[in-house]
Each structure stands twice: as C-alpha cells, then as structure tokens.
Chain A
C-alpha cells in the first residue's frame, strides 16, 4: 500500500513538473520575436579617405512583446570590412575582440503597444537602452521605424556613438581618416519564436 502511495505521489510530482515546463516554454514561445541574422552596418568614413565601413549579418535580436524589451548581441569578429587589414586592426587594436568578443544592447521601446501598434503600418518608435562594448556602457536613445508585415516585425534605424565612448584610442597617424562619430545602422527582421 505504501509503495503504491509513493509511486502515486511521484507520478503527480512528475506530471506537475512536466506541465510547468510545458507552460514555461509556451509562455516563452508566445511573446518573443527573434532574428538570428540581423544586419548592422557600422560606418566611420571621412570624405576623401578610404571608406571605414563594416557589415555584420549575424546579429542576434530578441524582442519581447510583453515587456517591450529588446536584447541584442553582435559578435565583434562577425563585422566584415572590405579591407582585410582594416578588419584585422579593428579586431586587434581597436576593439580587442579576443578580450571583448561581444557587443551587447539592452533596452526597450517607449510608448509602444505591440497589440495595437503592430497593425501593418510603419511606426516611428523611440528606443532607449544601453550598449556595451569593450566592457564599457553607453546610454543611447534613437528612433526606430517598426512595421509588421505578415508574421515579420521589421525594425530599421540608426544611432551614433564615438570611439571615445568605449575608451577606444585612435592613433594619431590615422586620426583624420576615421570619423569622430560612428554611425551604426540596423536592419532587423524578427519572427515569432
């Protein structure tokens, strides 16, 4: 009798655990939109000099429609330059990507109601958050254009940072070839996960 009781209790426990896990994954699945191949374009070109530009095509972006929070991660080594020497210098001398392999963003959309505002038309939405590069944090605020077409939420926009925000020192010899203000453009296409 006792063994049956024990088994029964165990079965109930397992059932509860399974149900909990299922609910958890369902909850997660319901409000998260995801892009594993987000595009970031980084440009610090100066007129008359060779373009200083890199493209990142595998940025991760997660948007939670319940909390309006956006989290993003770009592996520094994923930034591709046209000029391979520039790419090498960017990784080794400026960002030190072996020491700081990731650029992160955490923030949220302001005054945006995903239930009403994702109605197929394009919307201008304020994004506020913090970027972390080289272990240094920088607050940014910018406007994104957001539009939901079918099941895809498209987000595009741009923001500006400067190398000094992240304690990146540009050597004198190339100082006039690299812009003081770096423009970062983003193009994300998020799909429900």
Chain B
C-alpha cells in the first residue's frame, strides 16, 4: 500500500518536472541560427533587389536565408552595401579585410525592402567568399 503511494508521488513529480521542462524550453527556445541554416535562395544582389522591390515577390524572400553576391559599393559601421542595392549587416562585428570594389558572397536573413533608399536589407550575415 505504502509503496504504491510512493510510486504515485514519484510519477506525479516526474510528470510535473517534464511538463515544466517542456514549457520552459518552449518559452525560451533559441533564436534561429542563420549561419547554420540551409540556404533557401541563391541570387545576385541586383536580382534580389528587383524581386524585393515588388511587394508580391518580396514575401517569398522575406525572412528566408539568402545567399547573395555583389561588388562592395559602401562600407559602414557593421554593414556593407552590395551593388548599391543590398545592405548587408553582419551577425557580430564586420569581418576583417573587406574593401570597396571587392566581390563578396554572403549568407544572411532577408529582412525586407527599404523603399526610402531602394535598398534590400539583410541581417545576421556571414561571409562565404571574399
């Protein structure tokens, strides 16, 4: 009799801790790791910008992992601009050795299209080829 009660209590505790663990994991799940995710779309900076400037096609690329390439036309704080059409912000700090007029291949998350500057914005980017 006593041992049955004990088992019941242990089972109950187990159930509670498992559900607590699951809830906690759900509420505090990790952010997406864009650098580790597979590339969804691969296209040149100009092509990406053309697609993103149209609202309907933009949805297809938004929030997706994009691999894109182009010539660096501007370098700022933590970002570079490719072919004057795509602004790429790096995951952490800007990688070393980036120079104007160099061609780079980057991978990052497409955030959306900025129609004030006519610029696609990519964040959490990493360099694939330099």
Contact = CB atoms under 8 A, between A and B. Distances in A.
Interface of A: 34, 36-37, 57-58, 60, 62, 71-73, 75-78, 83-85, 87, 98, 101-102
Secondary structure call for the A interface: strand
Contact of A77 (B26, B30, B62, B77): B62
B71 interface: no
B62 A98 contact: yes
Interface stretch (B2-10, B42-50, B110-118): B110-118
30 contacts: A36-B117, A37-B76, A37-B79, A57-B78, A57-B89, A58-B79, A58-B111, A58-B123, A60-B116, A62-B116, A62-B117, A72-B116, A75-B111, A75-B112, A75-B113, A75-B121, A77-B112, A78-B111, A78-B112, A78-B121, A83-B28, A84-B29, A84-B30, A85-B27, A85-B28, A85-B29, A101-B62, A101-B112, A101-B113, A102-B115
A55 B58 CA distance: 23
Interface of B: 26-32, 58-59, 62-63, 76-79, 81, 87, 89, 111-117, 119, 121, 123
Contacts of B115: 73, 102
Given A36-B87, A75-B114, A98-B62, 15 more contacts: A36-B76, A36-B81, A36-B117, A58-B123, A71-B116, A72-B116, A73-B116, A75-B111, A75-B121, A78-B111, A78-B121, A85-B26, A85-B29, A101-B113, A102-B112
A58 B111 CA distance: 10
Contacts, number: 65
A43 B86 CA distance: 29
A102 to B, nearest CB: 7
Contacts of B27: 83, 85
B77 A37 contact: yes
Contacts of B26: 85
B114 A73 contact: yes
A87 B111 CA distance: 14
Contacts of A37: 76-79, 89
Contacts of B89: 37, 57-58
A103 to B, nearest CB: 11
Nearest to A37: B77
A101 B58 CA distance: 10
Contacts of A84: 29-32
A36 B32 CA distance: 24
Nearest to B58: A101
Nearest to B117: A60
Nearest to A76: B112
Contacts of A83: 27-28
